Structure 1
Amino acid sequence: MTNPIVGITEKQLTAISKYLSFVLRHKPDAIGLKLDSCGWASIDELVDKTTEHPLTAELVDLVAETNDKQRFAINSNRTKIRANQGHSIDVDLALTPLIPPEKLLHGTAERFCASIQEQGLSKGNRHHVHLTESKTVAASVGSRYGKLKVLEIDSKKMHEQGFIFYRSANNVWLVDNVPTEFIHWHIS
């Protein structure tokens, strides 16, 4: 299927989205792109430095606006872009702590369950553990890595015990870690 706005296929849009995720979340230096302290990059600079894909400001805008997971934000005057979360580089997303819902979900693969039962959920090389209110989203994320397991997190109890939660612009709940005592294994 071709997108009528720019004459580009959905497959090409997906490839560009993955490329933008890589550059904006993990390796801006791979193309010599400069991010500010909050993770924002100039769209013009991104377009100028990208050689892997035919990129225009309009195409960057289209990818950001149509990404089903809302991975990107564009500033109000449409000159800058950033990833909403998932960074392995040091950025300050300027998130405000929020009270989470009573329960949140985390999608993973069964092959990771033994480690999670021992250590809980850890952020690894990212800034936070990602949680969601949606079983569909948790299932989509977890099934990418193998046989699906959706875990229920007692986020209310975590919050009551001092854990700090944030919610990204695309409604992903973020926390530093989830100890095993807050994980319920009966969901899927």
Structure 2
Amino acid sequence: MSSKQLNETSKFLSYVLRHEPQAIGLQLDSEGWADIDSMIAGAAKDGRILDTALIQAVVSSSDKKRFSISDDGQRIRAVQGHSTSSVSLQHIEKEPPEFLYHGTATRFLASIRQQGLIAGSRHHVHLSQDRSTAIAVGQRYGKPVVLKIEALRMYQQGFKLFQAENEVWLTSHVPEKFLCEI
């Protein structure tokens, strides 16, 4: 399989498993799981060729560990990043490290300074443990800037933070007082 095919399939899986499962007639349960055979059939009706081997290759080759396959190999889900209201993943609350990072583009800074980091259309704000990941995320949206979050102080003040299966940290909101540009 070519890296182009893996990349295009990963983008498609992100689209249907995070945002628009109904685009191919797919049903997700409340934990985000979809039946792999149903996804293959829905994709075929949409003119996209998927098979179990390609899906498994995307899951295993993803450096960001965006997806997981169930223990029985019959279902797949995105591990975070959902905007669809049918999914409500139950992440385990966890004490974070002292600092976490968020990558964004400079054009969003004025809004962030006013309202902090908000989830927007997604269920959570995504935070990383290292600056390099945050920079890479910020570059997707324009000229990158990295925000340093006082995550442990947030947690100590009652904010809930969770860690997804792929090590991404999640929270519902980061008030401006816990942010600084670096």
Shorter-normalised TM-score: what interval? Answer: over 0.9
Q: Runs in 1 of length 4+ with deviation above 4 angstroms?
A: none
Give me the whole-angstrom Cα distance separating, in 1, the residues matched to 2:90 and 2:54: 27
Task: Find the partner of 1:119 among 107, 115, 119.
Answer: 115
One-letter amino acid matched to 2:57: L
Q: TM-score, normalised by structure 2?
A: 0.96
SS in 2 for 1:12: helix
Shift, 1:68, TM fit: 1.9
Task: Work out whether 1:12 is the aligned partner of 2:5.
Answer: yes
Match of 1:31 in 2: 24
One-letter amino acid matched to 2:24: I
Greater Cα shift, 88-97 or 13-22: 88-97
- Structure 2 unpaired stretches of 5+: none
Match of 2:60 in 1: 65
Greater Cα shift, 29-38 or 46-55: 46-55
One-letter amino acid matched to 1:141: V
RMSD: 0.9
Shift, 1:49, TM fit: 1.2
Match of 1:172 in 2: 168
Task: Find the partner of 1:53 among 48, 51, 65.
Answer: 48
One-letter amino acid matched to 2:26: L
Shift, 1:27, TM fit: 0.5
SS in 2 for 1:145: coil
Shift, 1:48, TM fit: 1.2
Shift, 1:99, TM fit: 0.5
Tell me if the contact between 1:40 and 1:81 (Cα under 8 Å) persists in the aligned partners.
Answer: yes
Q: TM-score, normalised by structure 1?
A: 0.93
Match of 1:42 in 2: 35
Q: Number of aligned residue pairs: give it.
A: 179
Over the matched positions of the two proteins, sequence identity in percent amounts to 48
SS in 2 for 1:150: strand
Match of 1:76 in 2: 71
Match of 1:89 in 2: 84
One-letter amino acid matched to 2:82: H
Shift, 1:184, TM fit: 1.1
Shift, 1:92, TM fit: 2.3
One-letter amino acid matched to 2:18: R
SS in 2 for 1:108: strand
- Structure 1 unpaired stretches of 5+: 1-7
One-letter amino acid matched to 2:7: T
Match of 1:129 in 2: 125
Q: What are the Cα deviations for residues 90-141 of structure 1, in whole angstroms up to 9, with x where unaligned?
A: 2122211000110000000111111111110000011000000011111110
SS in 2 for 1:50: helix
Give me the whole-angstrom Cα distance separating, in 2, the residues matched to 1:68 and 1:53: 24
Give me the whole-angstrom Cα distance separating, in 2, the residues matched to 1:105 and 1:172: 10
